């Protein structure tokens, strides 16, 4: 289920009442992630991104831990006013600091806010461009040459959702996934400002074992770079007096070889295929240890492409190919499915 962050709840209860449509109330009929649903990984979406992925603008997204949130559509948000928003947010952060609410934020250090577009990051032409928010510390007078240090970043993105953009009422912008990297106190301040400003609400996204196994299959199927790191599944064994974790790492080539024989149509994944894939891995494990992994809880999936933890923490782009297309689609499903 959805974990509501305490700092967001007060706002969102209020906001949700006024804000229509909330994502959950629209029925977009996304089959992804549900039993026996079928989903095409849009090749166009993949290519669109791949072409631009080398750009410096998105390099910072790679190799960082991102906390996942779902966001309801933003009301009266315009990408033409990003500079003005940055100023307002900057003032808001300063005010919060003065009120002493944000204890963890450095008091004497100035926070600079930058909000920009990431036009490269979208699944299809119809999608809204991703929006990046960055907080950096201004260099102090004493350290003249030092550069600004980014202390927190967060980005909103849209996900191959042609239908979403078409069906969105006027004045609403759909950027349903939000990813944050940095201290939670900053996430809290930035989140509450967006809620006040654009009448939206944020929900922390947990990732279910079912979705984790989808990600495992999806990322395993991606074309491999040489010496790609192994696909690792981490299971936690419930209700033992002492905690017990089982890490099951499969050589990337062997995992892909298995997936390639399971997947029937390249570019498409079905729930049945994901189930067969996981069953195969479980029974190989059982042959050795006589332990039923299906009775434990899958908590983490990690591949060369990306890693995801059930707590809603993801790490992107250990490989530059494919990932965003696959990833964003999955994120969208999560963002919509968990409402």
- Which residues contribute to the site for other proteins (CB under 8 A)? 230, 237, 240-251, 254, 257-258, 261-262, 276, 279-280, 282-292, 294-296
Cα 163 to Cα 39, 43, 69, 106, 158, distances in angstroms: 15, 17, 21, 43, 12
Query: For the residues of 116-180, what is the DSSP string, one character each?
Result: EEETT--SSTTSPPEEEEEEEEPPPTT-SSPPPEEEEEEEEE--S-HHHHHHPPTTEE---EEEE
Closest distance between other proteins and the C-beta of residue 229, in Å?
Answer: 11
* Separation of alpha carbons 107 and 140, rounded Å: 13
Min dist CB 238 to other proteins, Å, is 9
Provide φ and ψ at 148, rounded to 5°: -65, 140
Measured from the CB of residue 284, what is the shortest distance to other proteins in angstroms? 6
Whole-number minimum distance, CB 168 to other proteins, in Å?
A: 42
Report helix, strand or coil for 56.
Answer: helix
Contact of 115 with 89, CB cutoff 8 Å: yes
By C-beta, is 286 or 339 nearer to other proteins?
Answer: 286
Write down the least CB distance from residue 41 to other proteins, Å.
21
Q: Which is nearer to other proteins, 111 or 234 (CB)?
A: 234
CA distance 300 to 142: 44
Interior/surface letters 96-134, b for 16+ CB within 10 angstroms, e for the rest: bbeeeebeebeeeeebbbbbbebebbbbbeebbbbbbbb
Closer to other proteins by Cβ: residue 304 or 325: 304
Least Cβ distance, residue 50 to other proteins (angstroms): 28
The candidate with the shortest Cα–Cα distance to 195, out of 332, 339, 25, 14, is 14
Answer whether 132's CB lies under 8 Å from 115's CB: yes
Of 43 and 238, CB closest to other proteins: 238
Q: How far is the CB of 287 from other proteins (least distance, A)?
A: 5
Q: 171 or 253: whose CB is closer to other proteins?
A: 253
Least separation in angstroms between residue 304's CB and other proteins is 15
Alpha carbons 47 and 70: distance in angstroms, whole number: 25
Largest separation between any pair of C-alpha atoms in the chain: 65
Residue closer to other proteins (CB basis): 110 or 275: 275
Among residues 179 and 233, whose Cβ is nearest to other proteins?
Answer: 233
Q: Measured from the CB atom, is 202 or 285 closer to other proteins?
A: 285
């Amino acid at each position: 289920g959805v974990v509501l962050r305490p700092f967001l709840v007060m706002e969102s209860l209020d906001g949700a009442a006024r804000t229509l449509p909330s994502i959950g109330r629209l029925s977009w009929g996304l089959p992804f992630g549900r039993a026996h649903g079928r989903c095409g990984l849009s090749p166009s979406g993949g290519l669109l991104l791949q072409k631009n992925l080398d750009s410096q603008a998105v390099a910072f997204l790679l190799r960082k831990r991102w906390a996942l949130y779902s966001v309801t559509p933003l009301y009266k948000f315009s990408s033409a006013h990003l500079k003005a928003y940055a100023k307002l947010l900057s003032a808001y952060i300063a005010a919060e600091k003065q009120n002493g609410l944000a204890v963890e934020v450095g008091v004497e250090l100035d926070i600079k806010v930058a909000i920009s577009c990431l036009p490269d990051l979208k699944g299809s032409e119809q999608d809204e461009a991703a929006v990046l928010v960055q907080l950096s510390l201004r260099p102090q007078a004493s350290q003249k040459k030092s550069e600004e240090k980014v202390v927190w970043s967060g980005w909103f993105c849209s996900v191959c959702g042609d239908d979403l953009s078409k069906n969105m009422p006027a004045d609403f912008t759909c950027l349903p996934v939000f990813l944050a990297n940095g201290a939670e106190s900053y996430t809290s301040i930035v989140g509450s400002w967006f809620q006040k400003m654009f009448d939206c609400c944020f929900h922390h996204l947990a990732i279910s074992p079912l979705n984790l196994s989808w990600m495992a299959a999806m990322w395993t199927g991606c074309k491999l770079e040489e010496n790609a790191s192994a696909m690792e599944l981490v299971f936690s064994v419930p209700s033992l007096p002492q905690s017990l974790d089982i890490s099951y790492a499969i050589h990337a080539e062997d995992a892909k070889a298995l997936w390639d024989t399971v997947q029937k149509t390249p570019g498409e994944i079905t729930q049945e295929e994901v189930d067969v894939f996981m069953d195969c891995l479980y029974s190989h494990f059982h042959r050795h240890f006589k332990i039923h992994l299906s009775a434990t809880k899958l908590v983490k999936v990690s591949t060369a492409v990306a890693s995801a933890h059930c707590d809603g923490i993801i790490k992107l782009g250990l490989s530059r190919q494919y990932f965003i297309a696959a990833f964003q689609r999955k994120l969208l499903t999560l963002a919509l499915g968990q409402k």
